[in-house]
Structure 1
Amino acid sequence: MTGWLDVHAHYLTPHYAERCRAAGHAMPDGMPALPDWSADAAVEVMAMTGVAAAVLSVSSPGVHFAGDSLTRNQAARDLARHVNDEGAQVVARRPSRFGLAATLPLPDVDGALAELARAFDELGADAITLHTNQNGRYLTDPAFGPVLAELDARAAVVTLHPTSPPGWERTALGRPRPMVEFLFDTTRCVLDLVLSGTLDRYPHIRWIVPHAGAVLPVLAHRAAGMSFLTGDPVDVLSALGRLYYDLAGVPLPVALDGLLAVVGPDRLLYGSDFPFTPAPLVAGLAEGLRQAPALHEALLSPGPNSPGAALFPRLATDVEEP
């Protein structure tokens, strides 16, 4: 298969968009509006940017909109089932062009475990997508241990995606949370996984960190040094080197070089963030990456020995569809 593998692409259904608006997320995370999406539009963008296949996921705000009440949990379970069923149908129609990172109704653990099993065993999902926090609770919350254990048992690929952090009303200063807060919440989530030992407890989960590692390259050495000062030393750099990183967002002209100071090019994957990043901007960012000398040794296509082929073997085929 020629062309890049896009591991950070999103999809929406009309029903999902309707449920978001009904729950007060018509302007998700402070952005102007929910974007439109169709498989045909996605394929057009993929052709424009030289992408062979894309792994689809539901972006923030996910499916569990508020609280932990039984009513909210059931609504989240129903919506997770809906988006996963719809995503699986998109994949079934174009199996060599799309993959699915299934959505879980966390923080509802029982619902998440049931949907995780259904996603892999019935729908054939390629990965699971998890938000950096689940209604204000981070992935190291002990209650989420059974979900991480099941992901570890399946050696699952997990695509992380940021969402609004707890307390964003004060920290975002009135700006859309994807501008700044998303990057810090990604960094907070990943460093928490590292410093808590969670990555070591679940060593078989294969994590993809979004947005060129967010602020991790800047803070990695500081976090490592501080862990020694506090008497709980952690090899942060080694841990970060075991993760994968997509290049969605704005990795040039600065973030990519910072990331490559921490990890090797064999840990890089392409990400478009379409449709939350509009098609013209996706095309411009992709062209910049194609011209970047720093990526000459990176294998962004799902060919032999590439990270994309290792994580998504189903999409590393020679079969292409019109």
Structure 2
Amino acid sequence: MSEPLTTGGGVGYLRIATEEAYAPPELIDLFRKTLETTGDIGFRSLMGHYLTSDAERPRFVRDRLQDAGEKRLSEMDAAGIDHAVLALTSPGTQVLGDGDAREIAAITNDRIAEATLTYPARFSGLAAVGFGDIPAAVKELERAVNSLGLKGLICNSHIKGHYLDEPRFYPVLEAAQALGVPVYLHPNTPNNDMIKPLVEAGLDGSIFGFGVETAMHLLRMITAGVFDRFPLLKVVVGHLGEALPYWLYRLDYMHAGQVKAKRYEAIKPLELKISEYFRRNIWLTTSGMPWAPTISYAREVVGADRVMYAMDYPYEYVPEEVRMQDALPLTPPELKQFYQDIAIDVFGLDEAVISGK
């Protein structure tokens, strides 16, 4: 029988989980209302399941999403998780009208900040914004970081079919760079223009569609020159980079060919190779991807200092996956880097507070 997982650093490191979802009850209510009228196929598929199904997993998810207190803490304890970085669940504000999006972002940020003040050793958080109103989004991000102490920005991928490479969103990215906080690019279901063959095959969500959509989003940001314009911008992406590490050679090769051929107006020369932005601006987390071969490969191709731990609670709550990652073929200092040190550095966490000192 396996020994119980413990917190407190007795194993040689603190386990910091960096992609942990939260939703205020007000958002759940808005999502239920949105389901009645929306034409967003992905939203109906995703939230239609999690908010209406009586199956065990969706019932667990919708209950735990709304908790940032003792229930969540008890399950962190059972899984050996010392600290969780909370962020607004997908699709967050990004299916809402501008007014509702602004309101939900502010409510979420206040609630997460309250949790971090109540349990400073256990919780940190990322800011939500309403991406439809850019001046308000910048103002809310600045409030959340400077006044509430939140540690980054959550972007649940596409914003009603729009992407962060579009110049309209540059002020938000500029603000994140100026504040020195990362943008966590979290999956969303594909937009209506790309989802139909996926949803008809039952592949639109976390099994595959999330990765397709979010990998495309990140690639758009790279090839559009976002990281040349904002060279200090930090982006974190889960699920070990949505398979992009396995494509890096081909991406570099084909992008160079497209630039040379001048085939697409959108494809311009970049300052670096696509693969090099992964080693300068991008970090990966292991949310939902605990398999040692894939973690080892990602560490090899993007750098050991670019891959950190995440659980993806409550969508994925499998304590055995923590044991799988404890058993990675890494030295004790490498495990400490993987579970603890990278997250502290990227999110600007206070190690003394997290360790309870």
TM above 0.5: yes
Q: Of the candidates 80, 101, 110, which is equivalent to residue 50 of structure 1?
A: 80
Residue ranges of structure 2 left out of the alignment (5+ in a row): 1-7, 36-42, 51-57, 261-268
CA distance in structure 2 between the aligned counterparts of 1:64 and 1:197, rounded to whole angstroms? 24
Post-superposition offset of 1:300: 2.9
1:152 aligns with 2:177: yes
User: Does structure 2 conserve the Cα–Cα contact (< 8 Å) formed by 1:84 and 1:119?
Assistant: yes
CA distance in structure 2 between the aligned counterparts of 1:257 and 1:226, rounded to whole angstroms? 25
Q: Of the candidates 290, 307, 320, which is equivalent to residue 326 of structure 2?
A: 290
Report the secondary structure of 1:112's partner residue: helix
1:183 aligns with 2:249: no
Report the secondary structure of 2:110's partner residue: helix
Partner of 1:69: none
Q: Which moved more, 1:229-238 or 1:117-126?
A: 229-238
Q: Of the candidates 308, 323, 343, which is equivalent to residue 308 of structure 1?
A: 343
CA distance in structure 2 between the aligned counterparts of 1:179 and 1:319, rounded to whole angstroms? 33
CA distance in structure 2 between the aligned counterparts of 1:140 and 1:124, rounded to whole angstroms? 27
Post-superposition offset of 1:196: 1.7
Post-superposition offset of 1:254: 4.2
* CA deviation map 1:168-200 (0-9, x unaligned): 133333425111011112211222222221112
User: Does structure 2 conserve the Cα–Cα contact (< 8 Å) formed by 1:100 and 1:127?
Assistant: yes
Q: Of the candidates 272, 287, 290, which is equivalent to residue 248 of structure 1?
A: 287
* CA deviation map 1:74-109 (0-9, x unaligned): 111111111111111111100121001011111331
CA distance change for structure 1 residues 319 and 60 in 2, over 3 Å: closer, same or farther?
A: closer
Please state which structure has a larger fraction of its residues in helix.
2
CA distance in structure 2 between the aligned counterparts of 1:150 and 1:23, rounded to whole angstroms? 30
Partner of 1:227: 255
What is the RMSD computed on CA atoms of the aligned residues? 2.2
CA distance in structure 2 between the aligned counterparts of 1:179 and 1:31, rounded to whole angstroms? 14
Length, aligned pairs only: 311
CA distance in structure 2 between the aligned counterparts of 1:141 and 1:125, rounded to whole angstroms? 25
Instruction: Return the TM-score normalized by structure 2.
Output: 0.81
CA distance change for structure 1 residues 227 and 103 in 2, over 3 Å: closer, same or farther?
A: same
Q: Of the candidates 91, 99, 102, which is equivalent to residue 77 of structure 1?
A: 102
- Structure index of larger Rg: 2
| Identity percentage of aligned residues | 23
User: Does structure 1 conserve the Cα–Cα contact (< 8 Å) formed by 2:237 and 2:283?
Assistant: yes
Post-superposition offset of 1:319: 5.7
CA distance in structure 1 between the aligned counterparts of 2:290 and 2:16, rounded to whole angstroms? 17
Instruction: Return the TM-score normalized by structure 1.
Output: 0.89
Residue ranges of structure 1 left out of the alignment (5+ in a row): 67-71
Q: Which amino acid aligns with 1:9?
A: E
Q: Which moved more, 1:132-141 or 1:192-201?
A: 192-201
Report the secondary structure of 2:89's partner residue: coil
CA distance change for structure 1 residues 212 and 131 in 2, over 3 Å: closer, same or farther?
A: same
CA distance change for structure 1 residues 183 and 64 in 2, over 3 Å: closer, same or farther?
A: closer
User: Does structure 2 conserve the Cα–Cα contact (< 8 Å) formed by 1:208 and 1:246?
Assistant: yes
Q: Of the candidates 46, 59, 64, which is equivalent to residue 28 of structure 1?
A: 46
User: Does structure 2 conserve the Cα–Cα contact (< 8 Å) formed by 1:247 and 1:270?
Assistant: yes
CA distance in structure 2 between the aligned counterparts of 1:313 and 1:222, rounded to whole angstroms? 34
1:5 aligns with 2:40: no
CA distance change for structure 1 residues 112 and 295 in 2, over 3 Å: closer, same or farther?
A: farther
Report the secondary structure of 2:232's partner residue: coil
CA distance in structure 1 between the aligned counterparts of 2:71 and 2:83, rounded to whole angstroms? 14
CA distance change for structure 1 residues 222 and 109 in 2, over 3 Å: closer, same or farther?
A: same
Please state which structure has a larger fraction of its residues in strand.
1
Partner of 1:204: 232
Partner of 1:99: 124
Partner of 2:198: 171
